[in-house]
Amino acid sequence: MKKITLIPFLAISLFAFEQKTTLSLEYISYQNYSDETLLDGMTQISFEKENFTTNLSLKYLYSTQYKAKRSLYIDELYISDEEENYLVEIGKTIKFWGELEGYNIADIYNQKDYLIDPFDKDKKLGSLGGEFRYYFDENYLTFGIKLYEEDKELPTQDMPYYPFKNFKYNETLELTKKRTDPTLYLLYNFSTQESFDSESKIILYSGYDSKRDIIPMNTTTVTQYAYRVNKLLFLSHLIYEDYIFKTELSYTDIVDNKNMHNYAQTTFGVERGFYDVVGTDVTLYEEYYNYTHTKDVDVAEIYDNDIFSAIKINFNNPQNSELKMGVLYDIGTDEKIYKAELSSRLFDTIVCKAEYLRVTHTDRVKATLSYLF
């Protein structure tokens, strides 16, 4: 019996064990809504043995105000094996496909977690799947599959930023096929290092769209509808001196939803860095987003004809203090979204942040204290 109980410990000892935890206490004040205190935590546990890695990310959330924000779930759980010429990965993962700072039209593998924060593009839900990547020279080719279509979490009716003013929302997801019908993608990554550095990706994607149609269940209730598409994506950045030029292009062919029509999305941006400006490093961002559909239909797309302007100031101090400020301007409606964030490290393991967000005459102020260990 003693020998049997020693086996798991001997197996673990063969791997390099690493654990990281972030606990964040957030105080959020909303205009026209009750204030909220939120405990947001993430624990990451990984084991490594030569080229083999297994990773677990556990997410936990507790809100004093909203029951929908009380949860404990596995965000990522995967294993990967990377050799000299290839990588194999399977499990629940979060991937980042995108180049621009404000919004990424190419970042479609995972669903965004709009329930937590509709205005944070990094809040995403892990997706179950796998991929095989083959390396040659500095480039690689990836074949991937997603095995399960996740829900897109949205704010509930009692929460700020509820998207359906005059309707009730049913969380049951309607689909054209089964949740387990696979989504496939083929990704080619290539780079150049001549007079300038550049890196690009071409992605062929076939399966459920990351966008969702909203359909009526009756005269008072609506729900989400997941439909299947074929997509062609191109994303690239080019570095020239102190400039970074970025682009993301997407064309979507609707397979099985008569209410939606084929559409194209284009985004272009430029990033410019200025160094040692009165002891600080300053980065400027200017980006443009466009959405074009084949028929004149209301798609409720935020980034349909918008300009995003932002500035980031790194104060180059021991506290790693940083200030970000940006505005999203809708050319068609003249609407603006403002966001500012200040972050600083108090000690090696404690970070504090302050954030201000203004959306259509509604203010949100957030203060966050994070402990990393």
Q: What is the pLDDT of residues 167-189, one digit of tens each?
A: 999 999 999 999 999 999 999 99
3-state secondary structure of 9: helix
Tell me the C-alpha to C-alpha distance, in Å, between residue 258 and each of 176, 208, 216, 340: 11, 15, 15, 40
How many C-beta atoms surround the C-beta of residue 194 within 10 A? 6
3-state secondary structure of 2: helix
What average pLDDT score do residues 52-79 get?
96
- Return the structure tokens found at 259: 């209410």
Q: Report yes or no: 324 and 340 within 8 Å, Cβ to Cβ.
A: yes
What average pLDDT score do residues 84-89 get?
96
How many C-beta atoms surround the C-beta of residue 319 within 10 A? 13
- The radius of gyration of the chain's CA atoms, rounded to the nearest angstrom, is 22
**Whether the predicted model's global pTM rises above the 0.85 cut:** yes
Using the predicted structure, report yes or no on whether residue 98 has a pLDDT greater than 50: yes
For 279-347, the three-class secondary structure string (H helix, E strand, C coil) is: CEEEEEEEEEEEEEECCCCCCCCCCCEEEEEEEEEECCCCCCCEEEEEEEEECCCCCEEEEEEEEEEEE
Q: What is the pLDDT of residues 284-324, one digit of tens each?
A: 999 999 999 866 554 556 788 999 999 999 999 999 999 99
- 146 pairs with which residues across the strands? 129, 183
C-alpha torsion angle, residues 162, 168, 170, 176 (rounded to 10):
-90
Q: What is the pLDDT of residues 12-60, one digit of tens each?
A: 555 678 999 999 999 999 998 999 999 999 999 999 988 899 999 999 9
What is the CATH code of the structural domain delimited by 17-372?
Answer: 2.40.160.100
C-alpha torsion angle, residues 101, 105, 111, 116 (rounded to 10):
40
How many C-beta atoms surround the C-beta of residue 20 within 10 A? 12
Parallel, antiparallel, or unpaired: how do β-strands 221-226 and 168-175 relate?
parallel
Band the pLDDT of 361: cuts 50, 70, 90: confident
> What does the alpha-carbon distance between residue 217 and residue 118 come to, in Å, rounded to a whole number?
24
Tell me the C-alpha to C-alpha distance, in Å, between residue 149 and each of 26, 72, 92, 156: 30, 19, 12, 21
What average pLDDT score do residues 243-260 get?
94
Q: What percent of the chain has pLDDT over 70?
A: 94
Question: pLDDT value at position 165?
Answer: 85
What average pLDDT score do residues 67-73 get?
95
Strands (E), 85-220: 86-93, 127-136, 139-146, 168-175, 183-193, 197-208, 213-216
- 287 pairs with which residues across the strands? 269, 308
Q: What is the pLDDT of residues 133-146, one digit of tens each?
A: 999 988 999 999 99
Task: Indicate the domain borders of the chain.
Answer: 17-372
- 132 pairs with which residues across the strands? 88, 143
CA triplet 305, 309, 314: central angle to 5 degrees?
Answer: 155
Using the predicted structure, report yes or no on whether residue 6 has a pLDDT greater than 60: no
Question: pLDDT value at position 260?
Answer: 86
> What does the alpha-carbon distance between residue 115 and residue 40 come to, in Å, rounded to a whole number?
13
Question: pLDDT value at position 4?
Answer: 46
Question: pLDDT value at position 10?
Answer: 46
